[in-house]
A and B are shown apart, each in its own frame.
Chain A
């Protein structure tokens, strides 16, 4: 990142987890929990001849967003692909539990999850997988306590595997044009099902299937931003004010929303087929147009919703 840029002007994609947190929150408001000086590192990587990180690839703490108290967790996609290991996952779990326990007692106004992850860290696969399940449970409890959980995605690693599932458990989701959100990565599908099923080298195809524009237009994300840290900050401030509650009515509406998506688009194999069925103009070009032109498109019916 250039030293000439102020933190919030920097590009989210290029920034480190700490730079994202610094630029996202009000200046100098961030207080880290279990910081790198405590060296809470993975004890499992050494047996794979891998070097650990003093923060195990995730930064957690509290700060202020637009003068409101928030909790924040940011994954570092450049360490082990931002993957969930035992310590990494436990730091996020502890943060979510603290948010839940603080509800109504001066706790945070919202929890911000800056996801940048390939999913489970295979060197500690069992611990990472269970951490993801624990985090999903904890997100449900935080939301039940009336605290919105916002997922922000736009890093190098995207949000894959359990990270994709966690994203869709959030109350609101912000994506930048670089964001990719999926469960199985394209390479995994190609390895298991063959190149005819998914050519992971076809970058344009990968973006159409997993990318931010597809997620935003189908209702898998609530806000699409161009990609500066400031863009994410403004989106988070706006979305924090109105988040769907975690209750039966919300999930019943999500059931209907996702069932309708299958009915309308269930036989589609590529994004332009969806846009054509949805009646969007020039469906073949949606992946290529500028961000401004993309943001001028009216989203298909049902893509803007509280059913999450």
Chain B
């Protein structure tokens, strides 16, 4: 889907969303029965670098500062983090962390935040732009990944064909909506025949999540069997030693 199609289908009651530098988006949109929501985004397949991350974080912090607890929709069609010497020299880790922290702060201040992925998102950009909200929706055509299979093949020294076979039996490493849904990273997967606007409105009406349930969801979906149990076991031993 193109950005215009995504905007039209999510916000049929109207929006004022404008493109900014470095592939960023910013504006507001109307959601029936809920008033205006803040829209931010990184689109056009633009890798997320220092310039984009600082702009997005600024928009998020401005929403927190205005005090209205506006709901926030993050539109994502990026790539990986910008792979460049300049960005690393300038401390890209701080810029991506700053964006993730800004979204976490907005959650703590009572903003309901939903990311909508309609293109690529990989590695550090996937963490900072897509996974740092409270819910992540994958639209048709979404291509979330940590790393592509050829790169995994290069690092693990396993033939690509063998990796493709393995990926059929486990969601633990392969790219795509299905495995990332199974482990609890993707909250909902929407298909083209569904009314996006009403689904978004429903999701935005949910209460602000005060705890991160993705380890539980991954267990329920049988995609990530150990994470929740291990985290609980560590916490139980910590409480026992208090």
- Pick out which of these stretches binds chain B: A7-15, A20-28, A162-170, A228-236: A162-170
Q: Which residue of B lies closest to A49 (CB)?
A: B158
Residues of A within 8 A of B215 (CB): 90, 93, 134
Q: Which residue of B lies closest to A167 (CB)?
A: B93
Within the complex, which residue of A192, A248, A252, A270 is in contact with B83, where a contact is CB–CB below 8 Å? A192
Residues of B within 8 A of A254 (CB): 98, 101
Is A123 an interface residue, CB under 8 A from the partner? yes
Q: Which residue of B lies closest to A261 (CB)?
A: B90
User: In the complex, which range does the number of interface residues on chain A fall in?
Assistant: 35 or more
Give chain A interface residues in 122-175, CB to chain B under 8 Å: 122-134, 136-138, 140-141, 144, 159, 161-162, 164-169
A214 to B94 CA separation, bound complex (whole angstroms) = 13
A-contact 0/1 string along B129-163, CB 8 Å cutoff: 00110000000000000110001101110100000
Within the complex, which residue of A133, A259, A270 is in contact with B127, where a contact is CB–CB below 8 Å? A133
- Pick out which of these stretches binds chain B: A101-109, A282-290, A291-299: A101-109
Within the complex, which residue of B85, B97, B224, B233 is in contact with A269, where a contact is CB–CB below 8 Å? B85
Is A77 an interface residue, CB under 8 A from the partner? no
Within the complex, which residue of A97, A181, A197 is in contact with B85, where a contact is CB–CB below 8 Å? A197
A266 to B21 CA separation, bound complex (whole angstroms) = 15
Is B117 an interface residue, CB under 8 A from the partner? no
Within the complex, which residue of B109, B123, B218, B224 is in contact with A248, where a contact is CB–CB below 8 Å? B109
A95 touches B212 (CB 8 A): no
B127 touches A124 (CB 8 A): no
Q: Smallest distance from the beta carbon of A203 to chain B beta carbons, Å?
A: 15
Known: A48-B156, A169-B101. A269 touches B86 (CB 8 A): yes
A271 to B88 CA separation, bound complex (whole angstroms) = 11
Residues of A within 8 A of B230 (CB): 34, 40, 86-87, 90-91, 94
- Chain B positions near chain A (C-beta within 8 angstroms): 50-51, 54, 57-58, 61, 64-65, 80-81, 83-98, 100-102, 104-105, 108-109, 123-124, 126-128, 131-132, 146-147, 151-152, 154-156, 158, 166, 170-174, 179-180, 183-185, 212, 214-215, 218, 224-235, 237-239, 241-242
Given A33-B238, A136-B97, output 13 extra A-B contacts at Cβ < 8 Å: A40-B233, A93-B231, A98-B238, A122-B147, A125-B173, A127-B172, A127-B224, A136-B127, A144-B108, A162-B124, A184-B124, A209-B85, A269-B86
7 contacts between A and B (CB under 8 A): A34-B234, A106-B242, A136-B127, A162-B124, A165-B97, A167-B93, A262-B90
- Chain A positions near chain B (C-beta within 8 angstroms): 31, 33-34, 40, 43-44, 47-48, 60, 62, 71, 86-87, 89-91, 93-95, 97-99, 101-102, 105-107, 120, 122-134, 136-138, 140-141, 144, 159, 161-162, 164-169, 181-184, 188-189, 191-193, 197-198, 208-210, 214-215, 218, 220, 246-248, 251-252, 254-255, 258-259, 261-262, 265-266, 268-271, 274
